[in-house]
Amino acid sequence: MSVPRIAVDALTTVYGEGARRVEAVKAVSFSVEPGTAFGLVGESGSGKSTVLRALCGLAPVSGGRVLFDGEALSGRRSRAFTRQVQMVFQDPYGSLHPRHTIDRILSEPLSIHGLSDRDRRIEAALADVGLDPAFRFRLPHQLSGGQRQRVAIARVLILEPSVLLLDEPTSALDASIQAEILNLLARLRREHGLTYLFVSHDLAVIDHMCDRLLVMRAGEAVEELDAEALATRQVESAYTQALMKASEGFVRPAAV
């Protein structure tokens, strides 16, 4: 067995104190092998985003550990980590500065990480996400929601990461655009050998994207499954069955 790219080992995250205390994640464990796609699925408030935030150092690790390539992460993340592990968010409107051109938006991570070869990298990143080079000098409001999410993906890919943490990256998009972006993400993963930790409240999306998944509920891990168990409906918990029922007709049927 290789060293997992990402490991979450009995992670507990507590926000606030006293009457405001919230145990958002309760002793959750899973690991993500290099080059695979792992899904976290559960309804809103189940603690999915908190797990991603704890990995990035944006939420407290109150108990347990989070590891990258076998090394426990603590304190401020290193420059190497922040380049290797990139986060993609739900909202393609809020995540792009409204008055910055796409050129400037894509240049920013390059300057932060001191990378040269700016023109070549920007052109390659746009091509990677299927955007015409002419988009470079447009502003976010001149783009559709799907095109903006492509820019947001280009902005993280431009650093040549090995891991993407994707937090509901298509939930704000129309259904047809959602499928386009999911297919783009699947292609990028293949082409770049990326590892994905993919969060969604939608089991159909996770089923489409992931090799393995963990069902979460109220901060707890309910059940871990692989794609085959999902396809053949071999699930144990009543909660997972209810999630499956809710996405009935979308979850891939078992191969015959």
Ligand X SMILES: Nc1ncnc2c1ncn2[C@@H]1O[C@H](COP(=O)(O)OP(=O)(O)O)[C@@H](O)[C@H]1O
Residue 193 interacts with, from ligand X, Mg ion, none (CB under 5-8 Å by kind): none
The enclosing H or E element of 40 equals: strand 37-41
Decide whether 50 or 84 has the Cβ nearer to ligand X. Answer: 50
Pairwise CA distance, residues 96 & 140, whole Å: 7
Residue 45 interacts with, from Mg ion, ligand X, none (CB under 5-8 Å by kind): ligand X
Residue 92 interacts with, from ligand X, Mg ion, none (CB under 5-8 Å by kind): none
Residue 239 interacts with, from Mg ion, ligand X, none (CB under 5-8 Å by kind): none
Decide whether 53 or 121 has the Cβ nearer to ligand X. Answer: 53
List 49, 86, 200, 240, residue binding Mg ion (CB under 5 A): 49
Q: What is the DSSP secondary-structure string of 58-92?
A: SS---EEEEEETTEEP-SSPPHHHHHHEEEE-S-T
Q: In the complex, what is the shortest distance from the CB of residue 49 to Mg ion, in angstroms, rounded to a whole number?
A: 3
Decide whether 155 or 201 has the Cβ nearer to ligand X. Answer: 201
Alpha-carbon distance values, 162 to 37, 44, 80, 91 (Å): 12, 28, 11, 22
Footprint of ligand X (CB under 6 A): 15-16, 22, 24, 42, 44-50
Point out which span in 12-20, 47-55, 60-68, 209-217 binds Mg ion (CB under 5 A). Answer: 47-55
* Closest residue to Mg ion, based on beta-carbon distance: 49
Decide whether 46 or 147 has the Cβ nearer to ligand X. Answer: 46
Q: In the complex, what is the shortest distance from the CB of residue 21 to ligand X, in angstroms, rounded to a whole number?
A: 9
Is 233 in contact with 201 (CB distance < 8 Å)?
no
Cα three-residue angle 198-201-203, rounded to 5 degrees: 80
Q: In the complex, what is the shortest distance from the CB of residue 168 to ligand X, in angstroms, rounded to a whole number?
A: 8
How many residues comprise the chain?
256
Decide whether 11 or 230 has the Cβ nearer to ligand X. Answer: 11
Decide whether 49 or 149 has the Cβ nearer to Mg ion. Answer: 49
Count of beta carbons in the 10 Å neighbourhood of residue 128? 18
Pairwise CA distance, residues 226 & 130, whole Å: 30
Q: Interface with Mg ion includes 90 (CB under 5 A)?
A: no
User: According to the 3-state scheme, what is the secondary structure of 127-183?
Assistant: HHCCCCHHHHHCCHHHCCHHHHHHHHHHHHHCCCCCEEEEECCCCCCCHHHHHHHHH
Q: In the complex, what is the shortest distance from the CB of residue 46 to ligand X, in angstroms, rounded to a whole number?
A: 4
Pairwise CA distance, residues 63 & 51, whole Å: 12
Decide whether 49 or 240 has the Cβ nearer to Mg ion. Answer: 49
Q: Interface with Mg ion includes 50 (CB under 5 A)?
A: no
Residues that bind Mg ion (CB under 5 A): 49
